[in-house]
Chain A
Amino acid sequence: MNFGVQTRPRGNQDRSIVPMINVVFLLLIFFLMTASLTPPAPFEITPPEAEADPAEPRAGTLYISADGAMALGTVRGQAVFEALATDPPDGPLPIQADAAYPAAELATLLPNLAEVGITGILIVTVHP
């Protein structure tokens, strides 16, 4: 019986792994390019569905949950208005509100936003 080591040349084994590494690198570069590393929403939010112009998710989004809790970065609650006043966004403010959030409450929120110098908002949606 032959209990000896495998006689397959080592170079052969190394070469068979090269295509796999190529594929892995390709996938890695693909995910590097497509990944949008925005911080996750501070609470569970189901954005409303709409056919809207595609937009990149970006930092500085104001999150509003279904029960009206607000979050902007690390700031929570009514303090978001102070944070917006000291560090106003360039351009319209992206707002990601839950689909079940009452629209009338958003309407009452807007004068507060206008007070701190915001002239437009973007409502973040998802494609159905």
Chain B
Amino acid sequence: MIDVVFLLLVFFMLAARFGQEGALPLTIGSGGETAWSGPPRLLQIGPHDILLNGRVEAPETLVLSLSELVQPGADLVLLRPVQGADMQRLLDVMTLLQAGGLTNLTLVAP
């Protein structure tokens, strides 16, 4: 019996994954069910820069500038990744926005 217990122990030690996983939610634009309200807020995410409505924005002032345009948490913010921006870059920007209370995000195709 002890042999079996050891075998199970080793199995679960090997099978267990202790990766500290998290998840960030994204809304998928579902064809204009709710009317767009407020000023435009389109974030263009490049590999090294962020453009808010076509103007270059520093990461430090991004949340502040955006919160003037939207109701935090309620209004949708559009994210448009351009060529060269990978998932890590997108997630960096998304965590920055989430920390600033902007939780309703969606991706648009370039």
Contacts and interface: CB of A to CB of B under 8 A. Distances in A.
Interface of A: 17, 21, 24-25, 27-28, 31-32, 34-38, 47-57, 92, 94, 97-104, 106-108, 110-111, 113-114, 118-127
Given A103-B86, A108-B109, A52 B16 contact: no
Contacts, number: 157
Nearest to A20: B2
B23 A94 contact: yes
A82 B44 CA distance: 31
B107 A53 contact: no
Contacts of B58: none
Contact of B2 (A24, A27, A122): A24
Question: At the interface, is chain A mostly helix, strand, loop or mixed?
Answer: mixed
Interface stretch (B25-33, B60-68, B69-77): B25-33
Given A120-B26, A122-B23, A125-B21, A28 B8 contact: yes
A106 B80 CA distance: 10
B73 to A, nearest CB: 15
Question: At the interface, is chain B mostly helix, strand, loop or mixed?
Answer: mixed
A100 B87 contact: yes
B25 A122 contact: yes
Contact of B21 (A21, A24, A55, A92): A55
B83 interface: yes
A31 B21 CA distance: 18
Contacts of A124: 21-23
B15 interface: yes
A104 B28 contact: no
The 9 closest A-B pairs by CB, nearest first: A52-B22, A31-B12, A103-B81, A55-B23, A103-B90, A122-B23, A127-B20, A35-B16, A99-B88
A120 B86 contact: no
A34 B16 CA distance: 7
B86 A55 contact: no
Nearest to A30: B12
Contact of A110 (B24, B29, B110): B29
B45 interface: yes
Contact of A35 (B12, B87, B90): B12
Contact of B109 (A51, A107, A118): A107
